[in-house]
Every structure is written in structure tokens, then in C-alpha cells.
Amino acid sequence: MPSKVTLAEKFAGFSEQWAPRIVARYEGHEVRIAKLEGEFDWHSHTHDELFLCVDGELEIEFRDRTETLAPGELLLIEAGEEHKPVARKGEVQVLLLDPENAPNTGDPETATVAVEA
């Protein structure tokens, strides 16, 4: 039976950026956290992906628009939607929801595998 997870403690436990950590498992999906800074590559997934901004300001660029997330804001990225996360104003802390083992880049060849927090 899982114990509670204090996100601030989990974020304090690593410094690597763009390297997701798993903090909980739900119905075949992984609740992940990550630290982001700078620009990520354009990519898409075969599944939906949820971003919840915990700290900092995160831009998520789409081909036709940009969504800017502040803490307490979330965004659902639908399967197939090309997107590019960008953290222009310093490091951002996010909580993510992805299927188990789903590659963060959309491609197992280039992905940083999510590991336990």
C-alpha cells in the first residue's frame, strides 16, 4: 500500500533536467515529475499526456499556438499533437502523467527512461 508522496521532497532528490522520475503508478500509467529548462525537441506521442506546472513558467508550443503554464495550471496534450515544451525563464518543475514505459520524446531511441524517484 503506497504511502503519501511529498512532491517537494521528491524534487529535492534529483537535479537532472528532462529526466522524468516516477512518483506513483495509477492504472497502468506513471505519475512522473521532471525538471525542465531550455528547449525540448518537437515530438508527439501515441497517447495523451498531462502536464501540471508545479513551479516556474512553462511554455508548450504547438504548431498553431503556444500555451503558457504557471503553477497550478495543467494542460492535456492529445495523442498525436506535436508539441515542444520550453522553459525560457529558468527551471520549471512539472508533474506529468504518461502510460507506463512511454518514451518522453515519443521515440524509444531518443527517450530518457523514467526511473523511480
Residue with cell 503554464: 69
Choose among 93, 85, 106, 19: nearest CA to 53: 93
**Applying CB under 8 A, does 116 fall inside the site for a copy of itself?**
no
**Which of 72, 109 has the CB closer to a copy of itself?**
72
Kindly state the smallest distance separating residue 110's Cβ from a copy of itself, in Å. 22
Choose among 30, 26, 60, 19: nearest CA to 42: 60
Kindly state the smallest distance separating residue 111's Cβ from a copy of itself, in Å. 18
**Which of 4, 109 has the CB closer to a copy of itself?**
4
**Applying CB under 8 A, does 3 fall inside the site for a copy of itself?**
yes
> Pick from 20, 34, 36, 54: which binds a copy of itself (CB under 8 A)?
54
**Cα 8 from Cα 83, distance rounded (Å):** 27
